Amino acid sequence: MIAEVMLDLKTTQILSAYDYLIPDTLKGFLVVGMRVVVPFGSTTRVGLITGIKPTSLDATKSIIEPFDLEPLITKEQLHLIDYLEKQAMIPKHIAYDKVVPNVLKIDYTKKVHVLQRHLLKSPLLELLTKDHSVFQKTWMKHYHAFKTAESKKIISIETFIEQKKSIQMMISYEATDFKPKTPKQQALWHFLSTERTIDDILSEGYTKAMLKILIEQGSVSTKSIEKISTHRSWIAQDHKVLTTEQNQAIEDIATAFKTYQRFLLKGVSASGKTEVFLQLCRKLQQTNQQALIVTLDEALVEQMADYISPYLSVSKIHSGLTEQQKLDAYRAVQLGASDVLITTPFGMFTPFQSLGLIVADEAQDSIYLDYAKTVHGLDVLVERAKYHKVPLVYASATPPVQLLYDAQMGKLNWIELTEKVYQTEDDVIVVDMKKELENGNLSMLSKTLHEAISQTLRNRQQVLILANRQGYAPYVMCRSCGHVPTCEKCDTPLVYHKEKHKLKCHHCGYTIPPVYVCDACGSEKIKPVGIAIEQVESHIKMAFPRAKVSRLDADNTTKKGVYIDTIKAFKDKEIDILIGTQMISKGHDFDIPLVGILLIDSMLKAPTYLANERTYQLIRQTMGRAGRKQAGLSIIQTYQPNHFVIKTIQDESAFYEQELNRRMLAKNPPYTQLLTLVFRGKTSEQTEKAIQRLKQTVLARYSQFEIIGPSEYQQHTYKLMIKTQKRQDLSTLIEWIKKTYENPSLSISFYRYNDEV
DNA sequence: AGCACGCCGACT
DNA sequence: GTCGGCGTGCTC
């Protein structure tokens, strides 16, 4: 018998499966989903069995030994790997890497033992101060020296293969047939007629000493079981009265239990979507079914878990947890010990004992796409919902245009929660920044916003400022000749970072100190232009010196905890003005009267058909942060007050109608299927020729495609867009291109969901 | 010639 | 990810 084994190596040059002979002793024991230790080249690796078949032409080596006693991954996960391979063009072993959590992957540690210290030469002499040490990553540059020393028997290198984190075990106790004599012992013996843990026993008031006696005389047996932990808080909660709309939404979705159906739960902030999820989860729990709730980040997972854990046992997965905690959550969900898994998109592949519902919260967010631009997380969830035959609920205050279209086509059930739990009135003011300029106000804050902030601070209340940075590049420019310093490799303008006082390339990370004299003309009039969030911050700090001002953006939140701490400090009213990028617009339950929205103009001009939708969503989301518990005011500053996105900012149906119309005229999704191809070649000329040839061949061969481009957007990197009606046509085309244009000097990437790469 | 280093392709 | 093959370029 032959096993198809997929190795845990992430390089694309590795095939997705290698065939190995199954030794007679392992026949019947090995099944698909188990990992095995196999020889690979000169090394030993761990691989996953993806198939078993009678014969193979390629197999030459045998499996060394099994690594697991039972399959590591479920049939569903294998199915998802297959789905990612087929639908998203991801090689199998890379799909595996996404589906299986890091903690269950293998660490290959090497230990170096010094055999003959007197023969050690530099640099090994300095590195190997101890006779036994773990091989460090930084030693890789001396790898050759290590290998030479090993062959001369001066040192020996030993490789250890182990799983990063192991499943935690604990002991369980159960009564045997042998009845003890004393009444006290009998009481414990009866208590243990069902399996109990040590915590159960101690909390009932029994002692360890008594348990020990019973074990010794054979009245109680012990065995090792997996330790599982879930979150459940027992704090009594206020009884909540649901609105008619909430009850209706719960009923609609609950009726669809056990079938695959898609819903969109549209609700503004504070409309009580979380309560709907909770009630649905409670219904499922009564029949021992579980729910998967996916949301955006650590803070939102925690917020949701706080809401649900008083009623149900919850498992959480997000980046703020330790590896062990993530593994505990993963296992608790897999074994059915928790009712709900609340996770960031990273945890969406977690296997369930009995899945009954999937919720994709904040479904408009691009994070569902971010982790790999070829797969859409929401599509993965569709696949899981179909597999389990369960409803999939998208939740969003600002649903994507695509989903509205799906609803119009009857492919999606649209449910709207209009009632705000807190009855308040919201207001929006659009400030024309061109007029501000004409009136002599050159600062980034309009008079209107400045006054509103002053007023709010005087009332001892808080302000949230959205300073979009998407599309903004605060680059450096010479005011004399117009010269802009660019990256040596990418030829793109270097972005100016005020805090770090550096010029940085956002494509490759190339960094140089700031320039004071122009390279081109020698002028000293070279200065940063454009506006960045840091400038907004320093401006506001100057304008309101007594206010406590904090800033949140991707630059200063890389350190763990900064993001969550800042959000908490704002909620606790320790910060007066919070300035942030998109990350402050999402789902947080703030209680503030004023929101300022700045710097959205470049976002409207972003070179993608999604620009209008994204800007609209960002503004609406941010507006939603104000007026949750009191009347709210949003002030939008723009140079394009007549842009339809701004004009319709308070009239959603008008926005959707106009945007859908534009998409239809421009033949953009959802009216067409879009595929973006990115080509990277060695030279521009050859690459461009190859693309032109490809374009002509496709046009001649297939009539249903419209092709736009190619355009060079980075050095030696070209973009080509292909539009068509049927999704299946694109898959066929991709297969064909891959087969026909396999060429090491030209790399082609495919992007299905984004025209902006 | 002798070897150090780096790039490339194979690994079942 | 690791190794061997093979070319280049430097040193004895």
Query: Where residue A734 sits, what CATH number does that domain have?
Result: 3.30.70.1430
Question: Which residues have Cβ atoms closer than 7 angstroms to strand C?
Answer: A 9-11, 13-14, 40-43, 108, 110, 143, 147
A286 shares a domain with A189: no
Q: Which of A199, A226, A253 is the last residue of a domain?
A: A226
Structural domain boundaries enclosing A746: 672-751
Q: Which of A615, A641, A662 is the last residue of a domain?
A: A662
Question: Nearest residue to nucleotide B10 when comparing alpha carbons to its C1'?
Answer: A41
Whole-angstrom distance, CA of residue A340 vs CA of residue A342: 6
The answer to whether A286 CB is within 7 Å of strand B is no
Cβ atoms of A609 and A669 closer than 8 Å = yes
A559 shares a domain with A649: yes
CATH number, domain of A92, equals 3.40.1440.60
The verdict on residue A757 lying in a domain is no
The answer to whether A40 CB is within 7 Å of strand B is yes
Beta-bridged to residue A133, according to DSSP, are A112
List C-alpha distances in Å: A648 to A420, A430, A696. 21, 11, 42
A362 shares a domain with A268: yes
Q: Which of A80, A104, A128 is the last residue of a domain?
A: A104
The verdict on residue A436 lying in a domain is yes
Q: Which nucleotide is closest, CA of A10 to its C1'?
A: C1
Cis status of the peptide bond prior to A474, with omega within 30 of 0: no
A569 shares a domain with A452: yes
A744 shares a domain with A724: yes
Q: Tell whether residue A505 is among the known ligand binding residues.
A: yes
Quote the tokens at residue A586: 């999402």
Whole-angstrom distance, CA of residue A533 vs CA of residue A186: 71
Low-confidence ranges of chain A (pLDDT < 50): 421-423, 490, 507
A680 shares a domain with A654: no
Q: Which nucleotides of C are covered by protein (CB under 7 A)?
A: 1-4
Whole-angstrom distance, CA of residue A443 vs CA of residue A445: 5
Question: Nearest residue to nucleotide B5 when comparing alpha carbons to its C1'?
Answer: A144
pLDDT, tens digit (0-9, with 9 covering 90-100), for A457-492 = 999 999 999 988 765 556 666 655 556 676 665 455
A712 shares a domain with A598: no
CA of A14 to C1' of B11 (A): 8
What residues contact residue A118 under an 8 Å CB cut-off, 6+ apart? none
A337 shares a domain with A275: yes
Instruction: Assign residue A709 a region (left: φ > 0; alpha: ψ between -120 and 50; beta: otherwise).
Output: left
CATH number, domain of A635, equals 3.40.50.300
- Secondary structure of A457-470 in HEC code, one letter for each residue: HHCCCCEEEEECCC
Cβ atoms of A27 and A72 closer than 8 Å = no
Cβ atoms of A249 and A425 closer than 8 Å = no
The verdict on residue A524 lying in a domain is no
C-alpha triplet A178, A183, A185: angle, nearest 5°: 55
b/e map A574-583, b = 16+ CB within 10 Å? ebbbbbbbbb
CA of A743 to C1' of C11 (A): 39
The verdict on residue A477 lying in a domain is no
Closest CA to A159 of A174, A170, A146: A146
Closest CA to A678 of A603, A610, A737, A740: A737
pTM of the prediction? 0.83
A145 shares a domain with A66: no
Whole-angstrom distance, CA of residue A522 vs CA of residue A526: 9
CA of A144 to C1' of B5 (A): 10
pLDDT, tens digit (0-9, with 9 covering 90-100), for A674-687 = 888 888 776 677 77
The verdict on residue A479 lying in a domain is no
Whole-angstrom distance, CA of residue A637 vs CA of residue A514: 30
Q: Which nucleotide is closest, CA of A4 to its C1'?
A: B12
A295 shares a domain with A387: yes
Written as one letter, the residue type at A181 is K
Closest CA to A620 of A268, A343, A194: A268
A434 shares a domain with A285: no
* Count: domains in chain A: 6
The verdict on residue A494 lying in a domain is no
What residues contact residue A661 under an 8 Å CB cut-off, 6+ apart? none
The verdict on residue A486 lying in a domain is no
In 3-state terms, what secondary structure has residue A674?
A: strand
The verdict on residue A485 lying in a domain is no
A302 shares a domain with A219: no
